[in-house]
Amino acid sequence: MARLYESRKRILVTGGAGFLGSHLIDRLIDQGHEVLCVDNLFTGTKRNVDHLHDEPRFEFMRHDVTQPLVVEVDEIYNLACPASPIHYQHDPVQTTKTSVHGAINMLGLAKRLKCKIFQASTSEVYGDPNVHPQPEEYWGNVNPIGPRSCYDEGKRCAETLFFDYHRQHALEIKVARIFNTYGPRMHHADGRVVSNFIVQALQGQDITIYGDGSQTRSFCFASDLIEGFLRLMATGTDVTGPVNLGNPGEFTMLELAETVIELTGSKSKLTFMDLPADDPKQRRPDISKAKELLDWTPTIELKEGLTNTIAYFERRLPEIMGR
Ligand code: NAD
Ligand code: UDP
Ligand code: UDP
């Protein structure tokens, strides 16, 4: 990997001790940059960045982005926010505050520093979509008062703030709409489907299918997604996004369960449970814009990514099972 010491930047990553943030930091450190990781460790863990402990270009700061932050950096990636329904519904008011007050503080910081700022937005801004697959032009179908609204509406408001800071204060913004992503360092107990199925299969427990399992999702492997982040951040001032980043391969939850059982060689059976409220029936990104603007397309097939993720959870299984 080419080192960029001549163009070393100081880069702030909020939510850097989380699943995606820690992978992003690995890439930035690898490129020769200095990274300030800001995280309140609500869903993230220091274990995700432990391997950087002796890296002089890495610094960790425990801080909640709903509070003002005064630091000096050249670029900001704003990822701080719990991402899984179990976690973001645990304290919904705090979730909205993290998205909205967090965005205001990070935008205020970017405004003072006159620096570029990236926002980790989400496919949830499309809600339970009436248009399939979802292009960026689609405005979405979101329930404003349901159990997912703290996250969906929080992220929508954050996008509004990013575009108003862009128009009103000429801030350089980069908004990515991330679709379901998986890989090593996912939280094992956050209830997301990939980690649930893998951990259940490895333990020989029943695989929990919500509803009849016919709902679809599209799963992007973490390394592919992070490549998309870096390419979006490297674009010129004319590119603001929003840009969909995700893998257009679409699978039903039944297909996912069968693939996980096959790859783990597990004897687990399927069990069917109630579908959670407002659970989107289908989701697949239209990534034409990312292809055109970033020359980006995911490269890791589902089976390859799952094999890699299964290996991670296998290594962590004794700890997960409390042994
Ligand atoms: P994660 O929960 O692993 O990481 C989020 C990080 O933010 C955690 O380390 C958490 O401790 C931190 N955090 C939460 N509230 C904070 C606060 N108030 N102040 C400081 N830190 C705070 O989740 P992730 O999957 O890595 O998601 C990262 C970002 O990407 C999130 O903004 C999420 O909404 C977005 N996203 C993720 C996915 C996905 O599939 N993983 C999909 C769409 C969008
Ligand atoms: N802010 C921050 N760090 C900074 C500059 C601003 O955390 O270095 C926060 C500050 O708390 C403020 C928010 O960002 O509430 C928005 O800043 P902005 O300048 O846009 O608004 P104002 O300060 O005028 O309300
Ligand atoms: N899901 C499931 N079993 C599980 C966890 C989730 O069938 O143990 C389903 C869930 O109902 C949803 C899909 O898998 O339809 C993806 O869920 P996840 O929480 O991972 O992501 P999101 O709904 O936010 O896309």
Fold (topology level) of 2-182+221-247+284-299: Rossmann fold (3.40.50)
Q: Convert the pLDDT of each residue in 191-208 to its tens digit.
A: 999 999 999 999 999 999
Residue whose structure tokens are 């205001």: 104
Q: State pLDDT tens for residues 257-301.
A: 999 999 999 999 999 999 998 888 988 999 999 999 999 999 999
The alpha carbon of 67 and the centre of ligand 2 are apart by a number of angstroms equal to 10
Q: 138-183, pLDDT tens digit by residue?
A: 999 999 999 999 999 999 999 999 999 999 999 999 999 999 999 9
pLDDT tens track for 43-76: 999 999 999 999 999 999 999 999 999 999 999 9
The contacts of residue 259 (CB under 8 Å, 6+ apart) are: 251, 302, 303, 306
Report the residue among 250, 253, 275 best suited for mutation to probe ligand 3: largest number of ligand atoms under 8 A from its CB: 253
CA-CA distance, 267 to 46, in Å (whole number)? 34
Assign 5 a pLDDT band (cuts: 50, 70, 90): low
Q: What is the chain's alpha carbon radius of gyration, rounded to the nearest angstrom? A: 19
- State in Å: Cα 16 to ligand 3 middle: 24
Torsion over CA: 151, 98, 245, 307 (sign): negative
**Beta strands 216-218; 10-14: pairing state:** unpaired
Residue 179 CA, ligand 1 centroid: distance in Å: 13
| pLDDT value at residue 1 | 46
- Using 50, 70 and 90 to split pLDDT, how confident is the model at 6? low
Percentage of the chain beyond pLDDT 90 is 92
pTM of the model: 0.96
> Of 170, 180, 299, whose CA–CA distance to 231 is shortest?
299
Whether 151 is catalytic is yes
What one-character DSSP code corresponds to residue 275?
Answer: P
Residue nearest to atom 10 of ligand 3 (CA): 210
Best residue among 70, 112, 162 to mutate for probing ligand 2, ranked by most atoms within 8 Å of CB: 112
Q: Catalytic residue, from 77, 151, 165, 182: name it.
A: 151
Domain coordinates in residue numbering, the chain: 2-182+221-247+284-299
Residue 3 has pLDDT above 90, yes or no: no
For the chain, the straight-line distance linking the first and the last C-alpha, in angstroms and rounded, comes to 38
Burial bucket for residue 312 (CB in 10 Å: 0-12, 13-18, 19+): middle
Asked whether residue 217 carries a pLDDT value surpassing 70, the answer given is yes
Q: Which of the two residues, 13 and 2, has the higher pLDDT score?
A: 13
Tell me the pLDDT band of 311, cut-offs 50, 70 and 90: very high
Cβ(72) – ligand 3 distance below 6 Å? no
Question: Is 119 in contact with 110 (CB distance < 8 Å)?
Answer: no
Ligand 2 pocket, residue 66 CB under 6 Å: no
**pLDDT tens string 15-38:** 999 999 999 999 999 999 999 999
**How many other C-beta atoms can be found within 10 angstroms of the C-beta atom of residue 132?**
14
